[in-house]
Amino acid sequence: MLIYSSNMSDITTDYADHFDCEWYRDTYYGSVCVEGALGKVVKFDLDNYHAIFQSGKVKGKRLLDIGTGPCVHTIMSACRHVDDIYLSDYTAQNRKALTDWWKSDKTMLENITEYILRMENSGETVTERQKTMKGKVRAVLPIDVTLTKPLGTGCDVTEFDIITSSLCLEAASRTLELYRRHAGNVTPLLKKGGHFILNGTLGESWYRVGDKKFASLNLTKEDIESTYVSCGFDVISLKHGASSEGGNFSDYHGYFVMHAIKK
Ligand SMILES: C[S@@+](CC[C@H](N)C(=O)[O-])C[C@H]1O[C@@H](n2cnc3c(N)ncnc32)[C@H](O)[C@@H]1O
C-alpha cells in the first residue's frame, strides 16, 4: 500500500484490503443518469459506447475488457458484435463478483441494461441481454497493467480484436510516465487493425470507495491523445466533457471516451 505525504495522506491504493466492490457498484452504477453518484459521467460513457458499437464498424472475434471491476456495463453494447469476451481485474474480490454473476442466473446493473436496450430500440429483456453476455464470456482473468505481460503467462489468448477499458489505467498509474508505460504494456494485446475503446476521467486525483479515497492520475485530454498516438494508434474520436460535480465522490474535472485503431 502506498501512503502519500502531505495533504494526500488519506489516499490509498490498497485494492485488496479496501476496495468494497458492492459499495462501488451500488454507488456508481446503481441507477443511471439521475440518482447514481457521477451519473452524468456514466451516461456519457454508455451513450458513447452505444454509438461506437451501433455503427456496425467495430466488431471481431475476441474482446478483452481491462480492469472490469465488479461491473459489466462495458460489454453490454459490445456483446452483440463479438464472439468471445474476456473480463479481467487486478482485485480478487472484483474477479469473484464477476464470476458469481457469470456462473449464476443473477443479473446486475439492471437499470443500465434497460437504458442500453432502450437506446438500441431492442425488444430484449434485461435477463435475455445478460444471458447473451454470460454466454460469450470465456474467462475472468487476473491482470496487472504494470507488468510487461499484464495477463501473465497463464493465458493462451494473446491477441484481441477489441479492447475496452473503463477508469482503470488512471487508477493503476501514479505518474504520467507510468501511465504511458502501462498503456505500452496493454496495447500489444491488441491485433493490428484492432479497436481500443477507453473511457476515463480527466483532472482526477482521487475517487471514493466507502470511507476510503483511492488514488487516480490527473490527466488531460492531450495526455490521453499523445499517449495512444505514441503507442501506434490512429485516434478516431476523443469525446470529452467538463464537470466538477464529483463532490464527496471524486475531484474529477472532466471525462472522456476514446476510440482508437492500432496501426
Ligand atoms: C475505478 S475502478 C474501475 C472499475 C470499472 N472498470 C468501472 O468502469 O467502474 C479501477 C479498477 O482498476 C483495477 N486496477 C487497479 N490497479 C490495477 C492494475 N495494476 N492492473 C489492472 N487493474 C487494476 C481495480 O481493481 C479496479 O477494478
Which carries the bigger pLDDT value, residue 157 or residue 64? 64
- Residue 32: the pLDDT is 53
pTM of the predicted protein model: 0.95
How far away, in angstroms, is 94 Cα from ligand 1 center? 9
The side-by-side arrangement of strands in the sheet containing 206-209 is: 11-12, 212-215, 206-209
Q: Are 190 and 231 in contact (CB under 8 A)?
A: no
Q: Region 250-258: what's the mean pLDDT?
A: 95
- Residue 31: the pLDDT is 63
How far away, in angstroms, is 143 Cα from ligand 1 center? 10
- Residue 243: the pLDDT is 85
Q: What is the pLDDT of residues 78-111, one digit of tens each?
A: 999 999 999 999 999 999 999 999 999 999 999 9
Pairing mode of beta strands 206-209, 212-215: antiparallel
**Closest residue CA from atom 26 of ligand 1:** 69
Instruction: DSSP letter for 75, please.
Output: G
**Closest residue CA from atom 18 of ligand 1:** 144
Is 26 touching ligand 1 by the criterion CB < 6 Å?
no
- The rounded distance, in Å, linking the Cα atoms of 74 and 38 is 16
Q: Are 196 and 152 in contact (CB under 8 A)?
A: no
How far away, in angstroms, is 122 Cα from ligand 1 center? 30
* The CA-based dihedral angle spanning residues 186, 190, 193, 199, taken in that order and rounded to the nearest 10 degrees: -50
- Residue 5: the pLDDT is 37
Instruction: DSSP letter for 43, please.
Output: H
Q: Are 85 and 65 in contact (CB under 8 A)?
A: yes
Q: Give 66's strand partners.
A: 165
CA atoms within 13 A on the CB side of 261: 10
Is 69 touching ligand 1 by the criterion CB < 6 Å?
yes
How far away, in angstroms, is 249 Cα from ligand 1 center? 16
- For 114, the grid coordinates are 434497460
Under the banding of pLDDT at 50, 70 and 90, the label for residue 155 is: confident
Q: Are 231 and 183 in contact (CB under 8 A)?
A: yes
How far away, in angstroms, is 188 Cα from ligand 1 center? 19
CA 252 to chain centre: 16
Is 89 touching ligand 1 by the criterion CB < 6 Å?
yes
- For 139, the grid coordinates are 474467462
Pocket test for ligand 1, best of 63, 90, 170, 217 (most atoms within 8 A of CB): 90
Under the banding of pLDDT at 50, 70 and 90, the label for residue 3 is: very low
Percentage of the chain modeled with pLDDT above 90: 87
Residue (of 198, 193, 255, 207) closest to 227 by Cα position: 198
Q: Region 34-56: what's the mean pLDDT?
A: 85
Q: What is the mean pLDDT of the chain?
A: 93
Phi/psi-derived region of residue 258, left when phi > 0, alpha when psi is between -120 and 50, beta in every other case:
beta
How far away, in angstroms, is 173 Cα from ligand 1 center? 11
Q: What is the pLDDT of residues 204-247, one digit of tens each?
A: 999 999 999 999 999 999 999 999 999 999 999 999 999 888 88
Q: What is the pLDDT of residues 163-210, one digit of tens each?
A: 999 999 999 999 999 999 999 999 999 999 999 999 999 999 999 999
